[in-house]
A and B are shown apart, each in its own frame.
Chain A
Amino acid sequence: MAEELKLFRTWSSPFALRIVHALKIKGLEYETIFEDLSNKSDSLLQYNPIHKKVPVLVHNGKPICESLVILEYVDETWKQCPLLPRDPYEKAKARFWAKFGDDKLFSSIWNVFTTQGKEQEEPIAAAVQNLKPIEELLKEKKFFGGETIGYLDIAFGWTANIISILEEIMNLNLVDEEKFPLLSAWMQNFSNDPVIKECWPPRDKMIVKFQVMREKYLKAVVSQ
């Protein structure tokens, strides 16, 4: 039976990119539907009525939502090139850090991005604090998954995708090569991997997009 696989995403969403990477690693064919989040399609709203977000993976007509959960589904459904570790404890650790990345690290980086001057000092300290355990995870490893890219690399992909762009816009070095040598190296290795590189959104477009976003945030703060 031919499998029908569709992915609803935007060109820039790092969370949607996770699924693009996973499907590529698994060698799966699928149809991409690009969404404009300011004008969401009826299909997207029908497939993800609760969160109304991308990514949504539709497998034989059934929608799968929430990017980390989609990764688990993809790994369970297609057994080739396993993404999650086999060992239960390693698996639990990978899930924990992926969640930490989304819950704590992402918001702390975002807090740096949406502030400036004196107000940025505390967010910077918090972000650096949250980056430290991630650096520790990479001791004696090329990737979080070991020798090859796995679930946690994909889950942390957003750091390699976005942080350097935010740094360039802010003219601020968060992931300092001296303070975070392993993480810096990982970001290079990850984004240069042929499987990942192929799907990377264009950097200049990303810079423009995030520049506009930062200006909006800072303006909103000033007018408060």
Chain B
Amino acid sequence: MASCVQLLGASPSPYVNRVQMALKLKSIEYELIEENPHIKSERLLKANPVLKKIPVLIHDGEPICESLLIVQYIDDAWNNGPSLLPSDAQDAYLARFWALYIDDKNVDFQWYPLYKELREAPTEEARKEVLDKIFEGLVLLEKAFLKCSKGKQFFGGDNIGYLDIALGCYMGWLKVIEEMTSIKFLDRSKTPGLAEWAEKFCSHDTFKEVVPETQKLVEIFKMVQGRGKPASG
């Protein structure tokens, strides 16, 4: 019996993209139901009454929330394709730890908040300070990449895995930020492993067929800015 899989989300959201990437890697057919993240529909509030956020995966009527948890659920519930999480407990630990770090608002390396800080930096000095923090975080991720990939092309080894998805979902918006600031964040001279990984990841179908093109994201960004909406953290 074919199972019914629906994804409540919005395609510019990197968190929704994570789930889409996982579904794609497992060749799972699903229906994307576009939600406006600023106007919470009845359907969203019913599916995620506690946190009221996208993405929500609805599998045979049962809702699963929180992007990283959804990816783990997809890995647990479907056996087709290679595992997204490594089978070795130590490797699985590293994947989980670093994925949490990437999303952690309480560590220095964050994405949108730091970008906002960058844009709003009043002086060249303040700007440099934020950039230093970002690059510090990237150096940590470079080390993580070298450890997890063990010489292969992805964090997950030969195949795209959990940690590739956790970080890779941000690559679309990263390109927008690079375009807006004229700064190359994934610099081969500073973080060669990550730079190479980003190139490979972004040319993979998993990324190309899920994340909207950079120009589309730039348009969305300008539209949101134009509305005078404060960039959400």
A residues lining the B interface (CB < 8 Å): 50-51, 59, 62, 64-66, 69, 72-73, 76-77, 88-89, 91-92, 95-96, 99-100, 133
Docked-complex contact A50 and B101, CB < 8 angstroms: yes
Residues of chain A contacted by B66 (CB below 8 angstroms): 95-96, 99
CB closest chain-A residue, reference B73:
A92
Is residue B76 within 8 Å, beta carbon to beta carbon, of the partner chain? yes
Interface string of B173-198 (1 = CB under 8 A from A): 00000000000000000000000000
Please name the residue on chain B nearest to A130 by beta carbon: B50
A95 and B72 within 8 A (CB): yes
Q: How many residues of B contact A (CB 8 A)?
A: 23
Q: Which of B32-40, B57-65, B149-157 contacts A (4 or more CB under 8 A)?
A: B57-65
- Is A73 a contact of B92 with CB atoms below 8 Å? yes
Complex CA–CA separation, A64 to B111 (angstroms): 25
Q: Measured between C-beta atoms, what is the minimum distance from B27 to chain A in Å?
A: 17
Q: Interface SS of chain B: helix, strand, loop or mixed?
A: helix
Q: Please measure, in the bound complex, the distance between the C-alpha atom of A66 and the C-alpha atom of B89, giving whole angstroms.
A: 15
**For chain A, what secondary structure do more than half of its interface residues adopt (helix, strand, loop), or is it mixed?**
helix
Q: Is the CB of A72 within 8 A of B100?
A: no
B84-111 CB mask vs A (1 if < 8 Å, else 0) is 0000011011001100110000010000
Expressed in whole angstroms, the Cα–Cα distance for A94 and B180 within the complex equals 41
Which B residues touch A100, using CB under 8 A? 50-51
> What are 9 A-B contacts defined by CB distance under 8 Å?
A62-B90, A69-B96, A69-B100, A72-B92, A89-B62, A89-B64, A91-B72, A91-B76, A92-B69
A-B Cβ contacts below 8 A, count: 55
Residues on the B chain within 8 Å of A92, using CB: 64, 69-70, 72-73, 76
- With contacts A89-B62, A96-B69, A100-B50 taken as known, whether A66 is within 8 angstroms of B100 at the C-beta atoms is yes
CB B71 to nearest CB in A, in angstroms, measures 10
Given contacts A50-B107, A99-B69, 20 further A-B contacts (CB under 8 A): A50-B140, A64-B97, A66-B96, A66-B100, A69-B97, A72-B92, A72-B96, A73-B89, A73-B90, A73-B93, A88-B73, A89-B62, A91-B73, A92-B69, A92-B73, A92-B76, A95-B69, A96-B64, A96-B69, A100-B50
Chain A contacts of B65 at CB under 8 A? Answer: 96
B1 at the interface (CB under 8 A from A): no
- Most chain B CB within 10 A, of A76, A92, A99, A100, is at A92
Q: Could you tell me the distance in whole angstroms from the C-beta of A20 to the nearest C-beta in chain B? A: 19
Q: Which residues of B contact A50 (CB under 8 A)?
A: 101, 107, 140
Q: Which 4 A-B pairs have the closest CB atoms?
A: A88-B76, A88-B77, A92-B73, A76-B89
**Which residues on A sit within 8 Å (CB–CB) of B51?**
100
Closest to A92 in B: B73
- For B95, the closest partner residue in chain A by CB is A69
Give the complex CA separation of A208 and B77 in angstroms: 47
Q: How far is the CA of A95 from the CA of B59 in the complex (A)?
A: 17
Separation of A95 and B107 alpha carbons in the complex (Å): 22
Q: When chains A and B are docked, how far (Å) is the Cα of A133 from the Cα of B65?
A: 15
Q: How far is the CA of A3 from the CA of B73 in the complex (A)?
A: 31
Query: Min CB distance, B117 to chain A, in Å?
Result: 20
Digitize B117-153: 1 where CB-to-A-CB distance is under 8 Å, 0 elsewhere: 0000000000000000000000010000000000000
